[in-house]
Structure 1
Amino acid sequence: MLLELVVSTAPCGILGTTLLENVMTSTRIAFLDVDGTILDHGKAVAPSTVAAIRDARAAGHLVYLCTGRAAGAIPPQVEAIGFDGAITNGGAYATSGAETVVAAPMPPDAVQRLIAYFQDREILFFLQTNDAVHASPQVQKKLDVMLHRWQSAHGEPDEPQTAPQGVPGTRDLADVDLDRVAKAVFLGDAVDTVTRAQDELGDRFHVVPGSMPLPAGSNGEIGMRGTTKGSAIESVLDHLGVERSVAIGIGDSWNDVEMFDVCGVGIAMGNAAPELKELADETTTSVREDGVWNAFVRHGLVAG
């Protein structure tokens, strides 16, 4: 389960105490991005990554997910690893053990502004609540085909090809509750869609390039200004009474920049863009070359 604690056999009534004791004895706390860090091209998790996370937690360290995904869209193979908590939706939500630390959906008028912005410019988009991704049938089909093409292009030569399976946790856009939207993601046909959105929406929103591969055009993510992975990490650390200096953050995308800034050590994956690597304190190997494991070894969370 996603929020499984290290001592998973403890009675429910003392889960909070178990986590607190774990914090007191832990020497490090790690925040891990999902796509491109834990998960390779949307489908595979390296055995070394699973071992790194489980061994680190067994040794008394804490490991949190830190993702732009909705909590309801985290793949089962990632959830099954077991974590001490999760930051989701790019920082709009955060949990620690069984406790909710951050719950900051967008104001409805902000969501309406984004919808109008996308519709006026004929930009495809979807909205995330903490539970699910909400997309129109047109966008669902585009995402399905795009992700299947991307996964096929990055698969191993002898890996069997499978039919598109859809984006996990996707629901119809018409059913979204505007009071619960945490984040928006857009798919633009023009290469400058992200930079234009930053110029036109930057007064109220935090706009960053996304990680979805588009053969032409650009993809971006939008949250409220001040709502980032970094802001959520600060809330979690304050909640636990843990200093920034013992935190490490590992990621490969532009929504990880604030995570790098907040954590004592910011680590870029080897598969990250060169420009992003320059903003991190150091670089580990790629997601396919045991990047998480090697970073954990280097910083003493697991034995090499």
Structure 2
Amino acid sequence: MGWMRGRRTRASDPIREASMPHASDARVVFLDVDGTIMDEAARVADSTIEAVRQARANGHTVLLATGRAPGEVPDHVAAIGFDGAITAGGGYAAIGDEQVLERTMDAELVARMVAVFQDAGVEYYLQSREGVYPTEGVHRLYAWYLREFAGETFEGIEPHEHPRVAPLVQREPLPTDHVAKAMFLGEDLGNFARISEALGPDFHVITGTMPNLGTASGEVSRAGVTKGAAIETLLPMLGFTAEQAIGIGDSSNDVEMFDVVGTGIAMADAVVEVRERASESTTGVLDDGIWNAFVRHGLV
């Protein structure tokens, strides 16, 4: 898919014209990835694959809405087949293979953000269209996270050789502009408060998107860049109203998505903030959560 390969067909803010409206019974669904399509061990329920494919065959539109950069979306998730994707938490959006939205940080914002990270002593990685750029310690922290919370054993290999860790081994140079989003990681639960205060109103800072790390980690975008803002831009391009839109997610970067769709559905393990904003809830990732939500709304 073009949105995974980093193909650039449109830059800056959107210029694609609105599409013809869809029939009133057609729906558009925006699906989070981590904690929604797949669990912490990257497992996807067979029923999720079937739900997405059946819904599309029935004339509905299904897009990803993830905090991952375009190239971070796992191949086995992309292979399910989608009508497009919002990636990097709203930094990029594509319809089919056409990139229709890009909202990134300029060099001045990137430099300010990196300086705050360095002052706070956290590890971090920058997400751009071209890839993910981590600092030296990110892969070690992520390997620890996978051992502790995803049951990975790394038997017979070094942690940096693991396919889920290898993309987070440091590579140079770090980009100095056109960064869509950054993730910071550490062990101090005070990281989020200190970093969000230091960055100020020019940035959108949230926490809780990496389960079990809590306020020791978080993600940073340009102010106003969220999944919800991207969805508001895409809906007229796709020919849907907000009332026809369904969002399904579990973490704090899904809050703004729930604010703009007609139906917000929280996964069983969603954070409190998401459950409070949701219209309803569904079962867990491997307990047919997507399938059950699709059945409830007549998509399959």
Match of 1:13 in 2: none
SS at match of 1:288: coil
Query: Considering only aligned residues, what root-mean-square deviation do their CA atoms show, in Å?
Result: 2.5
CA contact (8 A) 2:133 2:175 kept: no
Q: 1:294 aligns with which of 279, 292, 295?
A: 292
Match of 1:256 in 2: 254
CA contact (8 A) 2:116 2:195 kept: no
Q: Per-residue deviation at 1:132? A: 1.7
CA distance in 2, matches of 1:242, 1:45: 28
CA deviations 1:192-229 (Å, max 9, x no partner) are 21123222223111111142245686110100111000
Match of 1:85 in 2: 84
Match of 2:67 in 1: 68
SS at match of 2:137: helix
Match of 1:131 in 2: 130
CA contact (8 A) 2:48 2:290 kept: yes
CA deviations 1:48-74 (Å, max 9, x no partner) are 100000000000000000000011011
Residues 32-181 of structure 1 aligned to structure 2 (within 5 Å): 32-152=31-151, 164=159, 165=162, 166-167=164-165, 169-170=167-168, 172-181=170-179
Relative to structure 1, the CA distance from residue 36 to residue 78 in structure 2 (aligned partners, 3 Å threshold; closer, same or farther) is same
SS at match of 1:250: strand
After TM superposition, the structure 1 stretch with the greater mean CA deviation from structure 2, 184-193 or 49-58, is: 184-193
Equivalent residue pairs, number: 282
Relative to structure 1, the CA distance from residue 168 to residue 40 in structure 2 (aligned partners, 3 Å threshold; closer, same or farther) is farther
Residues 176-255 of structure 1 aligned to structure 2 (within 5 Å): 176-214=174-212, 218-255=216-253
CA distance in 2, matches of 1:173, 1:26: 48
Relative to structure 1, the CA distance from residue 272 to residue 161 in structure 2 (aligned partners, 3 Å threshold; closer, same or farther) is farther
Q: Sequence identity, in percent?
A: 46
SS at match of 2:140: helix
CA distance in 2, matches of 1:98, 1:2: 4
After TM superposition, the structure 1 stretch with the greater mean CA deviation from structure 2, 61-70 or 123-132, is: 123-132
CA contact (8 A) 1:101 1:239 kept: no
CA distance in 2, matches of 1:216, 1:89: 20
Q: Per-residue deviation at 1:3? A: 6.8
CA distance in 2, matches of 1:280, 1:217: 22
CA deviations 1:14-33 (Å, max 9, x no partner) are xxxxxx68956970000000
CA distance in 1, matches of 2:135, 2:198: 24
CA distance in 1, matches of 2:166, 2:45: 20
Match of 1:270 in 2: 268
Q: Per-residue deviation at 1:76? A: 0.9
What TM-score, normalized to structure 1?
A: 0.85
CA distance in 1, matches of 2:24, 2:2: 22
SS at match of 2:286: helix
Q: Which letter does structure 2 place at the counterpart of 1:82? A: G
CA deviations 1:219-257 (Å, max 9, x no partner) are 101001110000111111121231110000000000000
Q: Per-residue deviation at 1:149? A: 2.8
SS at match of 2:277: coil
CA contact (8 A) 2:31 2:37 kept: yes
Could you tell me which runs of 5 or more consecutive residues in structure 2 were left unpaired when the two chains were aligned.
Answer: 5-18
Match of 1:7 in 2: none
SS at match of 2:81: coil
After TM superposition, the structure 1 stretch with the greater mean CA deviation from structure 2, 92-101 or 22-31, is: 22-31
Name the structure, 1 or 2, with higher relative contact order (CA <8 Å, separation 6+): 2
Q: Per-residue deviation at 1:129? A: 0.7
Q: Which letter does structure 2 place at the counterpart of 1:146? A: Y
SS at match of 1:200: helix
CA distance in 2, matches of 1:246, 1:162: 49
Q: Per-residue deviation at 1:43? A: 1.5
Relative to structure 1, the CA distance from residue 235 to residue 167 in structure 2 (aligned partners, 3 Å threshold; closer, same or farther) is farther
Q: Which aligned runs of 4 or more in structure 1 are off by greater than 6 angstroms?
A: none
CA deviations 1:108-155 (Å, max 9, x no partner) are 1111111100111211111111232111232122212322432108x9
